C-alpha cells in the first residue's frame, strides 16, 4: 500500500458498504485548530513581501543558483518522470473505491481518480457513500508545512459533498485555479453562492457569501463564505476564504508568475495547522499540482531547507499521492520560474528595506 508513511489517522473501512476491498484503509491527517480568523485575513496587506534575514538571503541566493541550473534540464527531467508516473500508478496504488459503480458518476474524468490510501473520506454527510474525488497531499518529512487537499472542480452532483468536506476538515481556504467554462468546455460547476448575503442550501448545509473583493489587479476574486449546519443552528459557523484565479488556462500557464505569487503571499499568514488548504482546478492535477509544488518549495526554502531545490523529488512525492500532478512540461518549467521570481523579489525587497533603514539611521544623527 502506498503512502503508509503519510498516515496520521487510520480509519478501518472494512464495514463500509462503499468499500469493495475489506483490507483497504483510509488515511487522513489530524489537524488541530489554530484559531484562524478569516476576517483578520481581509485586513492583511495585498502584497506582503517577506523581509528576509541575512542568513535567509544567503539561502535564497544559493537556492536560486541551483534552481536556475536545474531549469535548463527541466524538459528532460519531466520526460523521465513521465515513465515513473505510469509505473508508480500501475504497480503501487489502488483506486478500487473511486471505480466502484456507485461512485463512477462522481468523477469528472474517468482517468483522474484518488488513491484508496489517501482519499478524503466523508464521515458524516448523511449519505450511503463516503466518497469524493479528493486526495490529501502532504510531505511526510516536513510536517510543519501545509497539508493540501487536491480535488476536482465540483460537478453539480458533487457540490453538496464538496461543502461537507470543507466543514468536516475545517478547511481555512479554497484556492480555485480554473474558470467555470474554458472555451466551449465546462470545467467546473458554480458550486458557491455568487450573490452577497443570499444563503444557498447544499444538502444539510447553508452557505452564505459574506464578502466579495479583488486583488492582483482584479485577476483574483476574494470571497468569504459562511458555512452552517441546518440541523444544528446553535453551532458556530465555519468561515472559509475563497480565492478564484482567472488567468490560468487549462493545460497551459499564466503569462507571468506575478498574480499567482501575490495570491500565495496573501496566504502565508494562515497557520499551517488551521486545516488543509483546498486546491482545485478542473481535474485537480495539472494546475493544482503546479500550485502545490510551488507553494511547498517556497515554504521549505524560507525555512532553510535547501533540499527543496530538488523539484523533481517533490513532484515524485506528490504524484505518489495523486496521479498526474503537474501535467505538462510548461507547468513543470513554471514551477522553477515562479519559485525563482519570488525568491528574487524577496531578496530585492529585503535589500531595499535594509538600505532604507541605514539611510534613516544616518539622517537621524
Active site residues: 281
Alpha-carbon gap, residue 110 to 202, rounded angstroms = 25
Alpha-carbon gap, residue 67 to 69, rounded angstroms = 5
Helix ranges (H only) for 185-285 are 258-266
Helix ranges (H only) for 127-238 are 159-168
Alpha-carbon gap, residue 34 to 212, rounded angstroms = 24
* Torsions phi, psi for 244 (to 5 deg): -110, 115
C-alpha cell at 172: 481555512
Alpha-carbon gap, residue 138 to 326, rounded angstroms = 15
Residues 6+ apart with CB under 8 A from 274: 31, 33, 34, 35, 36, 170, 172
C-alpha cell at 57: 538571503
Helix ranges (H only) for the chain are 38-41, 54-71, 74-92, 96-99, 159-168, 258-266, 286-302, 311-319, 329-363
CA 151-156-162 angle, 5° bins: 40
Q: Do 265 and 47 touch, CB atoms closer than 8 A?
A: yes
Alpha-carbon gap, residue 165 to 283, rounded angstroms = 17
Amino acid at each position: 500500500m502506498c503512502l503508509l508513511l503519510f498516515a496520521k489517522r487510520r480509519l478501518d473501512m472494512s464495514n463500509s458498504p462503499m468499500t469493495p476491498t475489506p483490507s483497504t484503509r483510509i488515511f487522513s491527517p489530524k489537524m488541530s485548530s489554530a484559531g484562524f480568523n478569516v476576517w483578520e485575513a481581509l485586513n492583511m496587506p495585498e502584497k506582503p513581501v517577506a523581509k528576509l534575514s541575512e542568513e535567509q538571503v544567503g539561502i535564497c541566493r544559493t537556492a536560486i543558483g541551483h534552481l536556475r541550473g536545474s531549469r535548463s534540464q527541466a524538459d528532460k527531467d519531466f520526460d523521465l518522470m513521465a515513465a515513473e508516473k505510469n509505473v508508480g500508478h500501475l504497480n503501487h496504488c489502488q483506486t478500487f473505491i473511486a471505480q466502484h459503480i456507485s461512485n463512477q458518476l462522481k468523477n469528472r474524468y474517468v482517468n483522474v481518480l484518488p488513491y484508496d490510501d489517501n482519499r478524503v473520506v466523508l464521515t458524516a454527510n448523511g449519505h450511503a457513500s463516503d466518497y469524493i474525488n479528493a486526495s490529501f497531499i502532504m510531505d511526510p518529512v516536513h510536517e510543519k508545512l501545509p497539508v493540501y487537499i487536491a480535488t476536482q472542480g465540483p460537478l453539480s452532483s458533487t457540490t453538496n459533498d464538496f461543502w461537507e468536506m470543507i466543514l468536516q476538515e475545517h478547511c481555512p481556504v479554497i484556492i480555485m485555479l480554473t474558470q467555470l467554462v474554458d472555451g466551449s468546455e465546462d470545467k467546473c460547476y458554480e458550486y458557491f453562492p455568487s450573490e452577497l448575503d443570499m444563503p444557498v442550501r447544499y444538502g444539510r448545509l447553508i452557505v452564505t457569501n459574506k464578502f466579495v473583493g479583488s486583488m492582483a489587479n482584479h485577476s483574483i476574486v476574494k470571497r468569504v463564505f459562511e458555512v452552517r449546519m441546518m440541523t444544528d443552528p446553535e453551532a458556530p459557523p465555519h468561515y472559509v476564504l475563497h480565492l478564484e484565479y482567472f488567468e490560468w488556462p487549462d493545460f497551459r500557464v499564466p503569462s507571468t508568475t506575478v498574480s499567482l505569487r501575490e495570491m500565495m503571499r496573501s496566504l502565508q499568514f494562515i497557520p499551517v495547522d488551521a486545516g488543509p488548504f483546498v486546491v482545485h482546478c478542473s481535474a485537480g492535477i495539472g494546475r493544482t499540482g503546479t500550485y502545490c509544488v510551488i507553494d511547498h518549495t517556497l515554504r521549505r526554502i524560507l525555512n532553510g531547507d535547501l533540499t527543496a531545490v530538488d523539484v523533481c523529488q517533490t513532484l515524485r512525492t506528490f504524484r505518489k499521492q495523486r496521479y498526474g500532478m503537474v501535467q505538462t512540461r510548461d507547468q513543470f518549467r513554471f514551477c522553477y520560474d515562479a519559485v525563482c521570481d519570488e525568491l528574487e523579489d524577496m531578496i530585492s525587497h529585503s535589500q531595499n528595506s535594509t538600505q532604507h533603514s541605514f539611510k534613516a539611521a544616518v539622517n537621524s544623527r
